[in-house]
Amino acid sequence: MKRAALVIGLVLVAGTVLTALLSLAWTPYDPLAVVPANRLMGPGPGHWLGTDGYGIDLLSRIMVGARIAVLVGVVAVAIAALVGVPLGILAGTAAKAERWPRLVADVVMRGNDILYAFPAMLLAILLAAVLGGSTATAMIAIGVANIPPFLRVARAATLQVSVSDFVTAARGAGIGRFGIAVRHVLPNIAPVVAVQASLAFGMSILSEAALSYLGLSTPLPTPTWGRMLNEAQPYAWSDPLLAVWPGLAIGLAVLGFNLLGDGLRDLLDPRLRESVQ
């Protein structure tokens, strides 16, 4: 049963990523070509998912939208992990240290709490107001908003690993604090970080959709799932399928990453318990 979740998650994630990659080389139609004669066609053999109010092929737009979703997800998770994990290890290692490193750790954690309390969407709107709406804005805003959970997860895992015998043994062998953090703590907390990354990826896709729905992400004319939802709004009653397709894409991608994250956690848990004992 747990395996099933992992497999479904993997399939959905792979589907999203492959679709994004495929869109770089091939889409059934030009995702920007306006063909008024074909507007609002239902799903059929020519256009599998139908066309929108401008007569643009929906499948092509969904495929290009996957590209933006995956790209923003990768960069945002990378930002969050690269900032959050080292700071989390630092805070976890210094939590039991002498005076000043512990002070640094406390400052880091309180800063993290403040950032956590700040609504991610507000942060994104602020950033977009300053930098203008762009793909980079979305990446940075979602990345920064995702730092706190990474930091917390990394710190908690570090605290857990730090009390294990092999860390004491490493200290007893003369390995310095930095060496222990990089060579012995980081590899041992990697599984938890991987789980967090998978969950954060799903959240990032959802956030990106919300930002581009509001027009704070990738500018026109590039199609994104969020913008497709926005554009489908006038046709919500007459042609609901226009909103269903991007909604389905968002839902499946987020579901995929969440299932993958949960599956990874179950898969890695026994090993994690063994290594932390």
Total residues contacting another protein (rule CB under 8 A)?
Answer: 26
Q: Which one of 8, 108, 171, 235 is in contact with another protein (CB under 8 A)?
A: 171
Residue 157 near another protein by CB under 8 A: no
| Site for another protein contains 238 (CB under 8 A) | no
Judged by CB under 8 A, the residue of 107, 173, 182, 236 near another protein is: 173
122 near another protein, rule: CB under 8 A: no
Cβ count within 10 A of residue 277: 8
98 binds another protein (CB under 8 A): yes
* CB of residue 187 to another protein, shortest distance in Å: 4
Would you count residue 103 as binding another protein (CB under 8 A)? no
Query: What secondary structure, in 3-state letters, does 193-251 show?
Result: HHHHHHHHHHHHHHHHHHHHHCCCCCCCCCCCHHHHHHHHHHHCCCCCHHHHHHHHHHH
CB of 6 to another protein, least distance (A): 21
Q: Which residues in 51-64 are b (16+ Cβ under 10 Å) and which e?
A: bbbebbbbbbbbbb
| Residue 169 binds another protein, judged by CB under 8 A | yes
Q: Is there binding between residue 184 and another protein (CB under 8 A)?
A: yes
Q: Give the separation between CA 165 and CA 5, rounded to whole angstroms.
A: 34
Q: Are 101 and 94 a contacting pair, CB within 8 Å? A: yes
Cα torsion 125, 17, 202, 50: sign: positive
Candidate list 3, 113, 166, 240; residue touching another protein; CB under 8 A: 166
The CA-atom distances, in angstroms, between 226 and each of 155, 212, 234, 262 are 34, 5, 15, 25
Residues in contact with another protein, shown as a per-residue x/- string from 188 to 227 under the rule CB under 8 A: x-x-------------------------------------
Main-chain phi, psi angles of 51, to 5 degrees: -130, 165
Nearer to another protein, 168 or 233 (CB): 168
Among 49-57, 84-92, 94-102, 244-252, the segment contacting another protein (CB under 8 A): 94-102
Tell me the one-letter amino acid at 19: T
Shortest separation between residue 73's beta carbon and another protein, angstroms: 27
- With binding defined as CB under 8 A, does residue 97 bind another protein? yes
Which C-beta is closer to another protein: that of 91 or that of 145?
91
Q: Which residue from 42, 176, 234, 240 is in contact with another protein, where contact means CB under 8 A?
A: 176
Q: Minimum distance between the CB of residue 158 and another protein, rounded to whole angstroms?
A: 14
What number of residues does the chain have?
A: 277
State the residues that interact with another protein by CB under 8 A.
Answer: 96-98, 164-166, 168-177, 179, 183-184, 187-188, 190, 271, 274-275, 277
